[in-house]
Amino acid sequence: MNSDYRMSVVVRTITRLTYGLIIVFGFYVIMHGHLTPGGGFQGGAVVSSAFALLLVAFGSAGLKGRVNRHWFQTLEEVGAIFFLALGLFGIGTAFFFNLFANNPGVPFGQSVPFGPNSGAVSTAGTLPWMNWAVGLKVLTGLTSVVIAMLIGGRKEERE
Amino acid sequence: MSLGNLPFIASAMLVILGIYTLLFKRNLVKLVVGGSLIETGVNLFLVTFGYRTAGVAPIYTYAPAAKRMVLPTPQALTLTSIVIGMATTALLLSFAIHVYRHHGTLDARKVKELKG
Amino acid sequence: MKKVLFFVSFLLFASLLLLAAASVHPFGEPTETAMDDYFIANSQREIAANNACTAIVFDYRGFDTLGEATVLYAAVVGVLVAFRTLRKEER
């Protein structure tokens, strides 16, 4: 497969139209992890598949203006440290103690009535923060792996 | 005709196919696929372990009233297992690319000696 | 000769695995459910989360999620180091 092989115009047009929607849907799945099926790991995989779609449709030139490779490796460590810091907030009682639940002053502190209901977003204590930390980590980690396998596995030097 | 234990037998068949691939195939990429088949079979077994007859998902948002829920703990364990399986497969594939660059072949019987 | 030995042991292992899969509890009635009944009944009161599965992953068993995040991080670092070495050799 020579280096100027391009995907057809249908693939490139649809990718330009839909990769933003896939990223927004991935952030929706991360955000509402405590109400609907989903959470940090699933939403991070969805957003990373949007970047993989960009790589498949455009080659390594598709990421030139949009994704900075070294930034992604830094963001992964930020996600990991944030997850650990959230576990240490309630260290007075226990490690990983849910400090913000049932506590009506703080951002995600509302209580939930028992039984089936239509969910409210600002419930469940530290769970939404943990979803964001893990989602950031999975997103940037999987995208870094895909970029490294594509660019590092080539014979000639590129980028 | 009732179902019997057919979902458990199906996940055992996936594990058996993965073990067959690991034993009898020579190409490195096929060995990685065999390992991935074993992990898929184990995850399927974990999820079907916690099913209750006529149960709904263990989520309270818009839940149908007065129905019993399936067990949520095997689903949490399967989440962890899927992520670890993906990490293992990524590392195995990157080592397969390395072996191809050094030895020029993907045959598992020709890459036996350790070169410096 | 080695192939025959592999094949016989593979058939033995496969038959034992199928026998074990057919004699787990009947599909649909799990036996030990005391811990899961507690999780389903109390996750809305203690954690204020509608999703019992996410409450287990991040609060009741958050330590396992910490271990899993560490494994994911180690795997990503391993892949990145492997491809940096490959690129340096080609110079």
Alpha helices (H) in B1-116, listed in sequence order: 6-24, 28-49, 73-103
* Residue A158: per-residue pLDDT: 45
A3 lies in some domain: no
Q: Could you tell me what percentage of chain C is helix, strand and coil, using 3-state DSSP and rounding each to the nearest 5?
A: 80, 0, 20
Q: Do B14 and B41 touch, CB atoms closer than 8 A?
A: yes
pLDDT value at A62 more than 90: no
Q: How many domains does chain A have?
A: 1
pTM: 0.87
Rounded to the nearest angstrom, the minimum Cα separation between C48 and chain B is 11
Q: How far is A100 from chain C (nearest CA, A)?
A: 9
pLDDT tens-digit series, residues A102-130: 666 667 766 666 777 777 777 778 888 89
ipTM over 0.90? The verdict is no
Q: How far apart are CA B12 and CA B45, in angstroms?
A: 8
User: Chain B residue with minimal CA distance to C62?
Assistant: B76
- Which site among B56, B59, B61 would you substitute to test the A interface, given the most A Cβ atoms closer than 10 Å to its Cβ? B61
Q: Is residue A70 part of a domain?
A: yes
Tell me the pLDDT band of A67, cut-offs 50, 70 and 90: confident
- Look at residue C89 and tell me whether its pLDDT is greater than 70: no
For A27, phi then psi, to 5°, come to -65, -30
Domains assigned to chain B? 6-103 (1.10.287.3510)
Q: Which residues contact A152 (CB under 8 A, 6 or more apart)?
A: C83, C84, C86, C87
H/E stretch holding A80: helix A69-87
Spatial distance between the Cα atoms of A11 and B104, rounded to a whole number of angstroms: 34
Question: Nearest chain A Cα to C48, which residue?
Answer: A124
Specify if A1 maps to a domain. no
Q: Please tell me the predicted confidence (pLDDT) of residue A43.
A: 95
Q: Convert the pLDDT of each residue in B39-89 to its tens digit.
A: 999 999 999 998 988 888 888 888 887 788 899 999 999 999 999 999 999
A4-18, A71-85, A86-100: which has the minimum mean pLDDT?
Answer: A86-100
Q: What is the distance in angstroms between the Cα of B20 and the nearest Cα belonging to chain A?
A: 28
Over residues A45-67, mean pLDDT: 85
Range of the domain at A41: 9-152
Residue A157 covered by a domain: no
Residue A96 domain flag:
yes
